[in-house]
Chains A and B, each alone.
Chain A
């Protein structure tokens, strides 16, 4: 492990300068963490990390994938113990034996993996863990009352709290886990990438709620995110982790985004290149070749009864972005293309050897999904915990499972070829893992996500359908993955990409379809591709309602 030089950008450098008052607070520290270390076997997840959160502060914790952010959150919330180091809360040293223990001390946490009891109702999920073994925390009526404010602030006001949790979208589930923390009385709220599945609207609402919560100058929020715009907008201070060490603590407004990114990346790493090219690098998009043959065609598709029909066309090597607010039917669209669910009417066809193959040829959706897969359409879902990873299997196995037919001969695995391809994939994707034999759960969240994407790239699909594929991937690695996709598309792979991260769409996609009210309302290209244009379209505030067809 190289010795990192600590960077303190505050005017009067040195640890003493770290604790400054946030917006008008008293200025004393609520939480102070010193030389905290934690290792998992060989891996040193935290290496004498430091952190200080002032009262009334929104404090951002950033770092590349695998830099130890979640490990720090887990120690502070009592999920795991530390090897060394101390944490003091309100001036007293604390060491939590369980999450319940941390909660009693006033620390609530929302974890990176959306942890819900999917068989239980929304209300039960909000109040899960608040009761004693036999004694209720509060009556049912009081629960409904206490949760309704929080839920509507977060934008879940319309959701019936008696619905089972599994019927909610991933973003809604994420909001429920946040509500679970907010309905309690807390001093310190830890949010580990709690905004990763939210759209712009949901994120703005949440940040508003957080600002209000710390407004009393007593409570504080520590939030982990890879969305740099959130960091630059809402945090008072930023702590940067690299390789398990604290490499910088900066005050927002005193440094530019570039500097934060270069602290995250250190001297080495691909992310340094990103920094050189600006916050997110230049756009990668190339206009569609006019001579390219169509590979996927949607005609007169109606996603829900009574919605406007639309057409879409994806040529070989084309990249089409999809932008939408939560719940506008974008996931339906992707699932229709993948044959997982069927449209109300209209046709989804894939072109193969000059012939058009109807994906929805059968009434049994399982057959359609098979049809889509056989014809080279691959769908990457967004919920990696429940639909993405094979827990218990190694990184290697997780990468190759769907490619086994290609990687075996007469039923026998071609070990050399597998080792080669997996080695290449791990390098190209920048997966940080002790070994390809490590279990997938031992990887950090962002690195698991890279594996899920790499798995489907290895199948060399003709059409790759991506549902928010870079959730939790750090900005540097995100750029690498976008370049990987770009490369694959220039070799002929067509890509349909939905992302809650609009920058990502603007970087990669020469064309972006806006989905609103379960229909494609616009397809933006060329000059129209701006952040403002996308947001206006997503909120339906477009003056130019150009028909798509």
Chain B
């Protein structure tokens, strides 16, 4: 029970999980790839960056006080650019080197966001907008042109081993990290801070460190997202990252995370990111034009988030009556 709870008590994620199931069935009806196990690997490789981007968004959002991380997408892109431009481009293909350096870049970038938000006291939306531009430009400096071929071990993650899409390993790794963190007291500190930072602070929670760590964790997950992006692309693309910022925010909101902080968890964010991918895929499968597709995804997000906040409002007022 405690490990289930530690994904951030799970009830909030239920609508998103149901949404995943429904959309999965709809997709299967229109897209033959969903029915052929052999293609799951490739499908998962294009879905994973959506899922991981939304998960990378979660810790910042949970930390409250307008917590948001706009730099998630560019950071994923920067990791992709560094892997292909700085490492593979210069002959470094070893998994250990690539993984360690990617994670180090992600954590450093995340901690930088955290320090800007807490110690320099720049509002999160501005601070991470700043790093959004920085990381985007850095990607082009590291890798001016798209291209290159991902090393074989990375490319292989885009296939499936039997029915198991290899890229899921990356998502599971992040889940495992979050579970491990949840076994500590950190998640309670994070949710307390996000729910009411004054209450948390006066109760003795070190809210500054809690927030710095939240952004650092987000950076770490974004780095894994960058690996997934590389798997999906099979090469390097300095412009691939930035769009994921908006997908990440939409996914987190779809996953039942409160934009005010303190409610939600990584499970919901993952489900939300996946929903966003499934919607896009479904709309493409039914041959909607690219422009209509954007409009439709926008509407999906608005409706889902509207239902989400109405749901929590109704739930509350019912109990409020009793109290």
Contact = CB atoms under 8 A, between A and B. Distances in A.
Interface in B157-194: 181, 184-186, 188-189, 191-192, 194
Contact of B205 (A111, A129, A365): A129
A121 B204 CA distance: 17
Interface string A132-147: 1111110010000000
B295 interface: no
Contact of B199 (A116, A121, A134, A140): A116
Interface residues of B, number: 35
A245 B184 CA distance: 46
A100 B213 contact: no
Given A100-B204, A115-B198, A133 B188 contact: no
A193 interface: no
A185 interface: no
A118 B203 CA distance: 14
Interface stretch (A164-172, A392-400, A425-433, A447-455): A164-172
A77 interface: yes
A64 interface: no
Interface stretch (B106-114, B128-136, B224-232, B313-321): B313-321
Contact of A140 (B2, B317, B323): B2
Nearest to A167: B319
A117 B321 CA distance: 20
Interface in A185-204: none
Contacts of A133: 185-186, 189, 206, 209-210, 213
A109 B199 CA distance: 12
Interface string A158-178: 000000001111000000000
A103 B204 contact: yes
B31 interface: no
A341 interface: yes
B32 interface: no
B210 A120 contact: no
Given A119-B195, A120-B195, A129 B203 contact: yes
A135 B184 contact: yes
B262 interface: yes
A307 B118 CA distance: 53
Contacts of B322: 167
A180 interface: yes
A79 B192 contact: no
A130 B323 contact: no
A151 interface: no
A117 B191 contact: yes
A185 to B, nearest CB: 13
Contact of B185 (A103, A111, A135, A332): A135
B185 A118 contact: no
A304 to B, nearest CB: 9
A117 B195 CA distance: 5
A331 interface: yes
A267 interface: no
B29 to A, nearest CB: 38
Contact of B188 (A77, A103, A128, A332): A128
Interface string B191-220: 110111011111111100110010000000
Given A119-B263, A120-B192, A166-B316, A109 B185 contact: no
B204 A117 contact: no
Nearest to A163: B319
A63 interface: no
Given A120-B188, A140-B2, A128 B203 contact: yes
A119 B191 CA distance: 8
A99 interface: yes
B184 A134 contact: yes
Contacts of B263: 119
A124 interface: yes
A111 B203 CA distance: 10
A136 B186 CA distance: 8
Contacts of A115: 196, 198-199, 202-203
Interface of B: 2, 9, 181, 184-186, 188-189, 191-192, 194-196, 198-206, 209-210, 213, 258, 262-263, 316-317, 319-323
Interface of A: 77, 79, 98-100, 103, 109, 111, 115-121, 124, 127-137, 140, 166-169, 180, 331-332, 335, 341, 365
Given A109-B202, A111-B202, A131-B188, 7 more contacts: A100-B206, A116-B196, A117-B262, A118-B196, A118-B262, A129-B203, A134-B186
16 contacts: A98-B204, A99-B202, A100-B205, A100-B206, A111-B202, A115-B196, A115-B198, A117-B200, A120-B195, A121-B9, A129-B205, A134-B181, A136-B184, A167-B320, A167-B322, A332-B321
